[in-house]
């Protein structure tokens, strides 16, 4: 995937995620959260269909059974062998989890007898919990498949898989960025008008949450350029590109950790005048570890290139 194409996809994804976050605020009955898509909408459609009568109820059950059979079909078509056993088990678990999740989304009162099943807060918690359960099994299957591909692939295949993984990671960080920005923009107004100190502290908190994923996306795009060079036989410009990746990785580490510390220092200095005190220590551990691994990867790639050149000269 070319850089311009990827950037266009990321922009469209950010707009889509921002729109879904907005819809979750405006229509909480259908859009509880981004993670609840599309399970929540499927459950809502099944509930509406089952309420039309006996035929509609039977059709809804048939659709539910058909959705649950999809991972079973994939599992049956999977090649047999010990190397694919874990993936087939994950697909079987997914086939069991899907009808349970959708059924309880249609009937949330089944999750806890005597609870206020009609309350919006209860419905949001149940739908979010059920959606995360389903997504966790899907992610488990994807990870197991990636492990098998990475273990069996050759160098060229590994680099191609790595580029795909980087593109998916870009989309994940873009989604995180879009959700953070939209939640900040749609934050409900407090009963007390925020003062200057609250606005300043909020800006630093937002910067600490937004800047790390922005750096992550930029680094990932640079690393994809680096891998494209590594896939060629000549590997021309590898050292220069790796140097740029290392430089921006070092900057990202310093800025991300610096903003995390700065937001709390600013909050400490402005504490006497704050009406909204946020004491959550939100250290961007994932971004820090991710950037450190990328930094190590670029160094190893350059050293491997130098080793190949030394061996060529020796021969």
Q: What is the pLDDT of residues 201-254, one digit of tens each?
A: 888 888 888 888 898 899 888 888 888 887 776 667 777 887 888 888 888 888
**What pLDDT does 191 receive?**
44
The dihedrals phi and psi of 81, each to the nearest 5 degrees, come to 140, 160
**CA–CA distance, 141 with 81 (Å, rounded to integer):** 16
Q: How far apart are CA 182 and CA 176, in angstroms?
A: 10
Q: What is the DSSP string of 99-140?
A: HHHHHHHHSGGGGSTTS-TTSHHHHHHHHHHHHHHHHHHHHH
2 CA to centre of own chain:
21
pLDDT for the residue numbered 116: 47
**How many CA atoms does the CB half-sphere of 3 hold within 13 Å?**
12
Supply the pLDDT for residue 190: 44
pLDDT at 195: 73
pLDDT for position 193: 62
Interatomic CA distance for residues 315 and 175, integer angstroms: 50
pLDDT score recorded for residue 91: 92
pLDDT score, position 305? 67
Q: How far apart are CA 88 and CA 127, in angstroms?
A: 27
Separate counts of helices (H) and strands (E) for the chain: 9, 0
pLDDT at 94: 93
* Structural contact between residues 90 and 141, judged by C-beta atoms closer than 8 angstroms: yes
Residue 186 and residue 25 in contact, taking contact as beta carbons nearer than 8 Å: yes
Rounded to whole angstroms, the Cα distance separating 43 from 128 reads 13
Gap between the Cα atoms of 124 and 169, Å rounded: 27
Residues in the chain, pLDDT under 50: 115-117, 189-191
Distance, in Å, from the CA atom of 263 to the CA atom of 148, rounded to the nearest integer, reads 42
């Amino acid at each position: 995937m070319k850089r311009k194409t990827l950037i266009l996809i990321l922009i469209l994804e950010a707009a889509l995620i921002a729109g879904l976050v907005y819809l979750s605020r405006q229509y909480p009955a259908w859009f509880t959260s981004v993670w609840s898509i599309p399970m929540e909408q499927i459950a809502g459609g099944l509930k509406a269909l089952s309420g039309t009568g006996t035929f509609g109820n039977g059709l809804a059950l048939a659709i539910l059974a058909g959705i649950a059979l999809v991972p079973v079909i994939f599992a049956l078509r999977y090649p047999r062998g010990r190397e694919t056993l874990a993936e087939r088990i994950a697909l079987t678990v997914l086939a069991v989890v899907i009808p349970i999740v959708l059924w309880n989304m249609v009937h949330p009162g089944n999750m806890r007898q005597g609870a206020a099943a009609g309350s919006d807060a209860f419905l949001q918690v149940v739908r979010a919990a059920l959606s995360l359960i389903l997504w966790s099994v899907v992610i488990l299957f994807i990870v197991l498949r990636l492990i098998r591909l990475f273990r069996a692939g050759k160098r060229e295949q590994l680099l191609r898989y790595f580029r795909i993984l980087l593109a998916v990671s870009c989309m994940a960080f873009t989604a995180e960025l879009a959700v953070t920005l939209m939640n900040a923009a749609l934050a409900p107004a407090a009963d007390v008008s925020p003062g200057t100190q609250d606005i300043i502290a909020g800006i630093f908190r937002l910067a600490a949450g937004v800047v790390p994923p922005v750096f992550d996306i930029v680094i990932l795009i640079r690393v994809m350029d680096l891998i494209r060079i590594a896939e060629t036989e000549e590997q021309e410009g590898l050292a220069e590109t790796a140097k740029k990746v290392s430089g921006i990785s070092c900057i990202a580490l310093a800025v991300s950790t610096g903003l995390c510390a700065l937001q709390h220092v600013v909050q400490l200095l402005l504490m006497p005048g704050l009406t909204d005190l946020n004491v959550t220590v939100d250290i961007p551990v994932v971004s820090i570890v991710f950037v450190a691994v990328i930094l190590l990867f670029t160094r190893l790639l350059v050293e491997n290139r130098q080793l190949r050149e030394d061996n060529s000269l020796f021969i």
